[in-house]
Amino acid sequence: MAISPTTSPISPAASGRSQTQPTVISSDFQTFLRMLTAQIQNQDPLNPTPSDEFAVQLATFSGVEQQVRTNQLLEAIAAQFGGGMAQIAGWVGMEARAEAPVRFDGAPVTLYPNPAPGADRAELVVRNANGREVGRLPVTPSREPIVWDGTGAGGGPVLPGLYSFELVSFTNGMPVASSTPAAYSLVTEARIENGQPTVVLAGGTPVPAASVTALRRPQ
């Protein structure tokens, strides 16, 4: 049964900390300024506090403030990493449906096309890992799954490897749109890439978790 994924890279708890800590810092800074002002107003006129001591106090508070902000940022990053990974870690070993290249090992590949509305003809273009076209097959312009059995140009079988697919839609003999059919591939790895939960499919293709439209157990 297909399972629609949901992702929430940053947990509500982390979000709450991000909203609260700046308020606390601002409040502490105002308190510090009031205390510093009171200290200046009540110092001994005959023995005033050296100005360099005030500078040291300001620098110390500024350092603490920056450390708090750094800790806040690190907590947000940790929450994003942990939360995102927790959600997609269970996907490893499952089959994910996405618009991505597919590892062909001799078994037929089922593709889920999205032809242009009103198209009266369509072609499935097959390319190898180098981007070279190795097959172009006529298909029905519908959303019904397409089963590709590994047939390439000339009707012969292609070698095992990574292949990408393009569905070209035609109307009145003219190409009007192209799209990438989705397909199921085995999830071999889950990781955070550029701050986003990402899964790696069989063949080494990384796909953002948000681009996965369905999950299923291996068939």
Candidate from 7-16, 25-34, 139-148, 158-167 with smallest mean pLDDT: 7-16
State pLDDT tens for residues 129-182.
999 999 999 999 999 999 999 998 888 899 999 999 999 999 999 999 999 999
Q: What is the mean pLDDT of the chain?
A: 81
For the chain, the first-to-last Cα distance in angstroms comes to 11
Residues 6+ apart with CB under 8 A from 24: none
Closest residue by Cα to residue 198 from 1, 3, 9: 9
Residues 91-118: what's their mean pLDDT? 96
Whether residue 104 contacts residue 122, with contact meaning beta carbons closer than 8 Å, is answered with no
Query: How far apart are alpha carbons 80 and 14 in whole angstroms?
Result: 8
Residues 6+ apart with CB under 8 A from 203: 101, 102, 103, 162, 185
> For domain 104-179, which CATH number applies: 3.40.50.150, 3.30.360.10, 3.40.1280.10, 2.60.40.4070?
2.60.40.4070
Query: What are the structure tokens assigned to 167, written together?
Result: 């569905």
Query: How far apart are alpha carbons 30 and 28 in whole angstroms?
Result: 5
What integer pLDDT is reported at residue 23 of this predicted model? Answer: 54
pLDDT of 10 over the 50 cut: no
Output DSSP code: residue 48.
Answer: P
